[in-house]
Amino acid sequence: MKQIKAFMHPHRITAVVEALRNSGLCDISAASGCYNLTVSTVQRLFTSSDPAQQHYSMVLAEPVVAETKLELICEDHLADQLQHLIVQAAKPSAGWVFVSDILSATKLG
């Protein structure tokens, strides 16, 4: 299994989730293909090339930029396709997509 994490501008997440859903590769309600899709808002430290995107975090005492993080789990053979799909759907957003091996997983309950 693989874990994919993607960081992007918040305004692109809808297009990415829609592309994943429409691809037929993800059944987010079943434990096959790609699943455990989560989306969260995160703060990236450091400044942006666009000052309008950054603000000062009182909690961190640092300048930050709001980003969206998408995470999902997928079968090994789907990782490259899903990574490519996310990159294409997120354009023209700047960001990163990471693919990692899952060494162990245990279902709770």
Domain ranges of the chain: 2-42+69-101
> Which residue type, as a one-letter code, is found at position 81?
Q
Query: Considering Cα of 16, then 23, then 83, then 107, what sign does the dihedral take?
Result: positive
Q: Which pLDDT band holds residue 69 (cuts at 50, 70, 90)?
A: very high
pLDDT in tens, 71-89: 999 999 999 999 999 999 9
pLDDT in tens, 42-56: 877 776 666 666 666
> H/E/C letters for each residue in 35-79?
EEEEEEEEEEECCCCCHHHEEEECCCCEEEEEEEEEEEEECHHHH
Contact 20, 85 (CB under 8 A): yes
In degrees and rounded to multiples of 5, residue 67 shows phi and psi of: -135, 165
Q: Which CATH number fits domain 2-42+69-101: 3.30.70.120, 3.10.20.30, 3.40.1030.10, 3.20.10.10?
A: 3.30.70.120
